Amino acid sequence: MRGAERVVEWLQAQDAVTKIHFPGLPDFPNHDVARRQMNATGTPLFGGMVSFEVDSMERALKICERTKLFFLGESLGGVESLIEHPGQMTHLSLAGSGMEVPEGLVRLSVGIEHPDDLVADLAQAFG
Protein backbone atom coordinates (compact mmCIF):
# COMPACT_ATOMS: atom_id res chain seq x y z
CA MET A 1 0.00 0.00 0.00
CA ARG A 2 1.30 3.46 -0.86
CA GLY A 3 2.29 5.79 1.98
CA ALA A 4 -0.42 8.44 1.69
CA GLU A 5 -3.13 5.82 1.29
CA ARG A 6 -1.90 4.02 4.42
CA VAL A 7 -1.91 7.30 6.37
CA VAL A 8 -5.44 8.09 5.13
CA GLU A 9 -6.62 4.63 6.14
CA TRP A 10 -5.29 5.24 9.65
CA LEU A 11 -6.78 8.75 9.84
CA GLN A 12 -10.20 7.38 8.91
CA ALA A 13 -10.19 5.29 12.10
CA GLN A 14 -9.41 8.25 14.39
CA ASP A 15 -12.30 9.75 16.36
CA ALA A 16 -10.42 13.06 16.60
CA VAL A 17 -10.42 13.47 12.80
CA THR A 18 -13.53 15.27 11.57
CA LYS A 19 -12.71 15.42 7.84
CA ILE A 20 -10.07 14.11 5.42
CA HIS A 21 -9.12 15.78 2.14
CA PHE A 22 -7.51 13.28 -0.25
CA PRO A 23 -8.34 12.77 -3.94
CA GLY A 24 -8.19 9.00 -3.53
CA LEU A 25 -11.29 8.96 -1.33
CA PRO A 26 -14.52 8.21 -3.23
CA ASP A 27 -16.37 11.08 -1.49
CA PHE A 28 -13.66 13.64 -2.35
CA PRO A 29 -15.02 16.38 -4.66
CA ASN A 30 -13.97 15.57 -8.23
CA HIS A 31 -12.67 12.13 -7.26
CA ASP A 32 -13.65 10.87 -10.71
CA VAL A 33 -11.55 13.58 -12.38
CA ALA A 34 -8.58 12.74 -10.15
CA ARG A 35 -9.01 9.04 -10.92
CA ARG A 36 -8.81 9.74 -14.66
CA GLN A 37 -6.00 12.32 -14.51
CA MET A 38 -3.80 10.49 -12.00
CA ASN A 39 -3.87 7.17 -13.82
CA ALA A 40 -0.81 7.04 -16.09
CA THR A 41 0.10 3.48 -15.10
CA GLY A 42 -3.34 1.87 -15.20
CA THR A 43 -3.57 2.13 -11.42
CA PRO A 44 -4.48 5.55 -10.00
CA LEU A 45 -1.71 7.21 -7.99
CA PHE A 46 -3.35 9.95 -5.95
CA GLY A 47 -0.16 11.56 -4.69
CA GLY A 48 1.24 12.25 -1.28
CA MET A 49 -0.72 15.33 -0.21
CA VAL A 50 -3.21 14.68 2.58
CA SER A 51 -5.09 17.21 4.67
CA PHE A 52 -7.28 16.46 7.63
CA GLU A 53 -9.30 18.41 10.14
CA VAL A 54 -9.62 18.02 13.88
CA ASP A 55 -11.97 19.80 16.27
CA SER A 56 -9.77 22.74 17.25
CA MET A 57 -6.71 24.78 16.40
CA GLU A 58 -5.17 23.77 19.73
CA ARG A 59 -5.39 20.08 18.86
CA ALA A 60 -4.09 20.69 15.33
CA LEU A 61 -1.08 22.63 16.63
CA LYS A 62 -0.30 19.94 19.21
CA ILE A 63 -0.31 17.28 16.51
CA CYS A 64 2.04 19.40 14.38
CA GLU A 65 4.36 20.00 17.34
CA ARG A 66 4.50 16.39 18.50
CA THR A 67 5.46 14.57 15.30
CA LYS A 68 9.00 13.28 15.09
CA LEU A 69 9.18 11.92 11.52
CA PHE A 70 6.96 14.58 9.95
CA PHE A 71 9.02 17.76 10.03
CA LEU A 72 7.35 21.15 10.24
CA GLY A 73 7.61 22.81 6.84
CA GLU A 74 5.76 25.12 4.49
CA SER A 75 7.06 24.06 1.09
CA LEU A 76 5.79 20.47 1.21
CA GLY A 77 7.92 19.60 -1.79
CA GLY A 78 10.70 17.24 -0.69
CA VAL A 79 11.03 13.48 -0.31
CA GLU A 80 10.81 13.71 3.49
CA SER A 81 7.43 13.76 5.19
CA LEU A 82 6.33 17.23 6.23
CA ILE A 83 3.48 18.65 8.30
CA GLU A 84 2.02 22.12 8.60
CA HIS A 85 -0.83 24.06 10.15
CA PRO A 86 -1.96 26.23 7.21
CA GLY A 87 -3.97 28.62 9.37
CA GLN A 88 -0.85 29.63 11.29
CA MET A 89 1.66 29.24 8.47
CA THR A 90 0.92 29.48 4.74
CA HIS A 91 -2.58 30.98 5.04
CA LEU A 92 -2.12 33.30 8.03
CA SER A 93 -2.57 36.37 5.81
CA LEU A 94 -6.19 35.28 5.18
CA ALA A 95 -7.18 35.66 8.84
CA GLY A 96 -10.26 37.86 9.13
CA SER A 97 -10.83 37.94 5.37
CA GLY A 98 -13.71 35.48 5.21
CA MET A 99 -11.50 33.11 3.18
CA GLU A 100 -9.75 31.47 6.13
CA VAL A 101 -8.96 27.79 6.14
CA PRO A 102 -10.53 25.75 8.95
CA GLU A 103 -8.63 26.33 12.18
CA GLY A 104 -8.32 22.58 12.80
CA LEU A 105 -6.79 21.88 9.37
CA VAL A 106 -3.46 20.02 9.23
CA ARG A 107 -1.66 19.39 5.93
CA LEU A 108 0.77 16.54 5.31
CA SER A 109 3.19 15.79 2.55
CA VAL A 110 3.79 12.07 2.85
CA GLY A 111 7.36 11.23 1.90
CA ILE A 112 9.38 8.10 1.35
CA GLU A 113 9.56 6.88 4.94
CA HIS A 114 7.91 3.54 5.67
CA PRO A 115 4.13 4.06 6.00
CA ASP A 116 3.99 2.10 9.26
CA ASP A 117 6.58 4.45 10.79
CA LEU A 118 4.56 7.48 9.64
CA VAL A 119 1.36 6.06 11.12
CA ALA A 120 3.18 5.32 14.40
CA ASP A 121 4.44 8.90 14.46
CA LEU A 122 0.95 10.29 13.93
CA ALA A 123 -0.44 7.92 16.57
CA GLN A 124 1.97 9.21 19.21
CA ALA A 125 1.31 12.81 18.12
CA PHE A 126 -2.44 12.31 18.49
CA GLY A 127 -1.66 10.78 21.93
Domain span at residue 68 reads 3-126
pTM beyond cutoff 0.75? yes
| pLDDT value of position 96 | 77
* Count: domains in the chain: 1
| pLDDT value of position 44 | 66
What SS3 class is residue 19?
strand
pLDDT block averages, 10 residues each, the chain of length 127: 88 97 85 73 78 96 96 79 86 78 92 96 97
| pLDDT value of position 30 | 82
| pLDDT value of position 110 | 94
| pLDDT value of position 15 | 97
- Using alpha carbons, select from 44, 115, 123, 45 the residue that is nearest to residue 81: 115
- Give the distance, in angstroms, between the CA of residue 124 and the centroid of all CA atoms in the same chain: 16
CATH code for position 57? 3.90.1150.10
What SS3 class is residue 43?
coil
Total residue length of the chain: 127
